[in-house]
A and B are shown apart, each in its own frame.
Chain A
Amino acid sequence: MHNNKYLKENPNQPLLAYHFIQALTRINLAAHTTSTKQRSHIIKHAAYVSMAFAAGNKRTWTHAVLHNRFPIKTRFHRLSGSRRSFIVSLSRNKETLHQAHLLRSLVPGGHAMEFSSLLMETANYIQYLTAQVRLMQCIVEKFDMHV
């Protein structure tokens, strides 16, 4: 995978909106059977699934979201993978190692990635997270206008 491919791609916002709004419509149909709290969990899950669908199956993080459910409970720590490619000069700094470990916990599937992949996946993940947040803000605004 070329580095450029990860970072030049702009989030597929129409696809994101399509998946998420479809999910919201389904959730709305069942709204009378769910509590607000339940619904909020379902909506949050739908948000991450929409992100993963829109980002596509070639990313490790989308795979992790779609197959393991988010938040990801790492059942195994592939520490050998994370150590193998960590640059020696960077890893002398304990704080950097610590931050990298934290990052792995935040990005879906992060613990199984090599460090360079982690950086690329994180960039892509952030792009989709911001697109999803903007989409949800837009929907909330639309509701405020109509209700």
Chain B
Amino acid sequence: MSSSRSSQSRQSSTSPNITEDQIIDLISKLQALLPETRIRNTDRASAEKVLKETCRYIKKLQNEVEDLSEKLAELLTLTEETNSAQASVIRSLLM
């Protein structure tokens, strides 16, 4: 963080004096985590876009967790009779 932001690190996150700059900085950091980087600027209009994309991305990830849980549930059924194969998979993952 630049020295002009040093006061920010001393403030707790519950302080009501969060500046707009800090929020914009946080939003751009969030944007960096999103897969698509269509949004270039970090002005007020794109803050809304980042939030929107973030919501969409989170929903997508949560749906993936749900789908993968279903897949794993089925796979555990299949390997019920072959627990040795199961154990070897687990072992190979832990290595």
Q: Which residues of A contact B (CB under 8 A)?
A: 1-4, 7, 17-18, 21, 24-25, 27-28, 31-32, 36-37, 39-44, 47-48, 84-85, 87, 89-90, 93, 95-96, 99-100, 102-103, 106-107, 114-117, 119-120, 122-123, 125-127, 129-130, 132-133, 136-140, 142-143, 146-147
Contacts and interface: CB of A to CB of B under 8 A. Distances in A.
Interface of B: 1, 8-9, 12-14, 16, 18, 20, 22-23, 25-27, 29-30, 33, 44-45, 47-48, 51-52, 54-55, 57-59, 61-62, 64-66, 68-80, 82-83, 85-86, 88-90, 92-94
Contacts, number: 167
Nearest to A36: B73
B9 to A, nearest CB: 5
A31 B80 contact: yes
B93 A142 contact: yes
